[in-house]
Amino acid sequence: MKKMCALLVALAAAVMLCPPTHAVSVHAHSAVLMDGSSGRVLYEYDAHRPRLIASTTKLMTALVAAERAEDLEQVVTVKGEWLGSEGSSIYLQAGEEITLRGLLYGLLLQSGNDAAMVIACHLAGSEEAFAALMNEKAAQLGMKNSSFVNASGLNDDNHYSTAYDMALLAQACLRNETVAEICATRSITIGTRTFVNHNKLLHRYEGCVGMKTGFTEKAGRTLVSAATRDGQTLICVTLNDGDDWNDHEKLLNYGFETYPRQVLCREGEVMGCVAVEGSLIPTMTVTAKGELGYPLRAGEAPVREVELLRSASAPLPPGVQLGVIRWRLNGEVIAQMPLVSQGGAGLDVREPMTFWEKVRALLGGREN
């Protein structure tokens, strides 16, 4: 009986600690829900299988453009040979002048394939050369199962990604202020054009900060979305999903409710002391360099490990790293933060004192 009870307790603990990857039912052929800050996957279904991604491709197009353009207000003169892309369009004309920023709005809100081609050719000389830059960026982001051959997402057997890789791309897009701002825009008028964002979640889901829709008959409906609640940002990706709006709402609700952000440490929180050599102050208080949060399910309790230098030598100004704090969950490091010497008035550890400085300090600074 005791053995049976022990086994039941162990099984219960395992269930609490292991995320139920199929706790939510969705219609997508591939899906992933990721915490935007930590990168923790909160839900996945066939998330690493390469699939067609349609116009969600344009997130990569926008990111590469935003990072490589020297000035988003530069005026682009549209060349006739850059036009002729099939599919969705913002109806650019040969000889027309438009800013690169305007093209990015047309790319991400109206999903203009002509805008994608003009951006690619303007910045790289050709779509092929721009695709090489897209693949270079994908490698930098760790998108191991992705390949890009065009800037718009038109069907091609060599143009694909995965739900997980697209979540990595979404993380990078949210870190880029330009791309993040454009994705979150509901509508904008630029010149004679008014662009309206195709992402219905901006209206339907509280806290949605946008991202990108996509569709071709072969790829099906593709969608990348992100939402913020109580300081936590979640990223959701579905590929080939006939009910994507509802599925994203369902997955985002699941993530916020099941994996709320928990504060592991706050900036300035005291984490220990380090001995200081060569100073009248024998020790220096060590604090967390910043605030750190992590999404945790009920019952999950990360183990904290503090690693400090045994000693440090003066001078020791505030902000010098003296250690690191880590958190482990099921034996794996899930987060870490540098530990630094404490700042604040009167806390700087000075150079070693001379003999007479020490005598004067002991006498309270009195002069004969």
Catalytic residues: 55, 58, 111
CA distances from 295 to 23, 104, 170, 333 (A): 16, 33, 18, 14
Q: Residue 335 forms beta bridges with which residues? A: 327
CA distances from 93 to 9, 100, 115 (A): 69, 15, 11
CA distance 169 to 162: 10
170 residue type, one letter: A
Q: What is the b/e burial string over 292-323, where b = at least 16 CB atoms within 10 angstroms of the residue's CB?
A: bbbbbeeebebeeeeebeeebebebeeebebb
DSSP states of 31-88 as a string?
EEEEETTT--EEEEESTTS-B--GGGGHHHHHHHHHHH-S-TT-EEEPPGGG----SS
